[in-house]
Structure 1
Amino acid sequence: MKKQDTLSPYIHFDRKDWAELRSSTPLTIDEDDIKELKGLNDELNIEEIVDIYLPISRLLHLHASATRELYESRNVFLQTNVKKVPYIIGIAGSVAVGKSTMARVLKALISKWPNHPKVDLLTTDGFLYPNEVLKERGLMEKKGFPESYDIAELLHILSDLKSGKGRVEAPVYSHITYNIVPSRTQVINRPDILIVEGINVLQPPKNGGGKEIDQISVSDFFDFSIYVDADEKTIFQWYIERFKLLRGTAFRNPQSYFKKYAHISDEEAFQVAESIWNRINKVNLRENILPTRHRADLILRKGEHHFVESIKMRKI
């Protein structure tokens, strides 16, 4: 049921009420698409698309259209002709919570809006410092923490895009080698919609920084932001399940950073994954990621079966 709490900046929806907001938004993907879109240990079906993602798609379409009208009105006011700039959507949340699946689904749905916008997806993994730099700075055990990212580079790229620059290049990350791919870039060239996905994209600006760039956050460039949420114990279980599945897939690649874990037992895999979670991911979630949850425009709360159970939408 939709709830209006006067002390909360959010409107609360249960799954049933949220699903009704789909209205006449058409279903434009099928079961074959779903197989391509879902993550390794994520769950996704047509019901989730219809009940959760189609209302989100409709909401984003309304917001993007209104923002375009605002840009045009500002051009009239300033007597300028600013070039097209992308509508930027940020997606945040813990490791293993399903952000990547959500980003891919939204990209697929948005690209099939009536005006067929050009949609690009940018993940912040590409802005992690190379392992050589992280080792030099003693940050390998804090990979994924805010300080492990080249935030200045990400801010420059987003600033260029929002300033109307036509073509930018972003670094690329490999989950096989667990490192930045040398001499390889992702080209982003005038998208209508840009989805930026990453665990820490809703981080506030640095505290006490004297430089102008220290007063700017990545989310300052977002037009809309989404936080994918779940209970910590549930996310931990998903992380363990994914780690075990990776032993028979990515870890078997000879180039894999984690190839030494490819043939360990289930018990050993649990112990390794639990150690990594407790040392790194749990700490990062509690100290950096979770505190940014209420900076989002939309919070999607997942249950233990990976499906969204409730939604919070920021009031206007």
Structure 2
Amino acid sequence: MSTQYVNIAAYKFITLDNLEELRPQYQALCNELGLKGTVLLTPEGINMFLSGTREHIDGFLAWVRSDARLADLEWKESLSLEQSHKRMLVKIKKEIITMRMPLIKPELGRAPSVDPKTLKRWLDQGHDDDGVPVVMMETRNAFEVDVGTFDNTLDYRIDKFTEFPAVAAQHKDELAGKTVVTFCTGGIRCEKAAIHMKNIGYDRVFQLDGGILKYFEEVGGDHYSGDCFVFDYRTALNPKLEPTETAQCFACRAVVTPRQQLSPEYVVGVSCPHCAGKDGQIQADRAGEHPAGAGV
């Protein structure tokens, strides 16, 4: 019988001031349990993407939640027949998700959120419970959006999250009188995005609690087209939280569809139709690696 692996994504904004002490503890336990993935430890909190057996994932989460600061840590799960990551890294970084706006501190209070089932009802009826039109806004990078997104979504084609604050400010006036719901893969980017939008004067802004992955888990694919890009070797999950045949080029990071994978220019770990023939396409030190932990 094939082993089934549990893949978790979890984060919490909370002050962590003993990172150098925590890092070897996390690394040792993850290695002992045979977990694969990435744990980011930062002064503003923790972010993790891990894969392992049910027993080992449960044991790890119990240990993490024994830290009083992380006792209420929540996570999202999906299943796979292979571990979704190939190695185990525990890193210390400045931010859980890089925004470069140090005054935004989700630990001190979240922006208003909407749960997946309520959002589906809003989208079904075309407005929120106060009769205000609902607009979905992407906070993810353009290449992630291209894999799939909510229908009729505002997508400003950003290349990195640090571009979002300026984009949100530029479009504030045209969204007056509407309820804006920001979303991302697992909710973490929206923790900062929605706070920023409230700070600059958006009247009605909500973050989708748990992101796309939680929406898939609780609602399915209603009002969503395509799949959801994830930062691991599965590349994308469908609304049933199943891996798809979509891949990612490890040379240029572009998403490669099943049809594009038939091209002779697609060589795993070397090139794809997006980058074949371009200078610098082959980067040996990146071949076989994946930007796991880049943010959800």
* TM-score of the pair, normalised by structure 2: 0.32
Q: Name the one with the larger helix percent.
A: 1
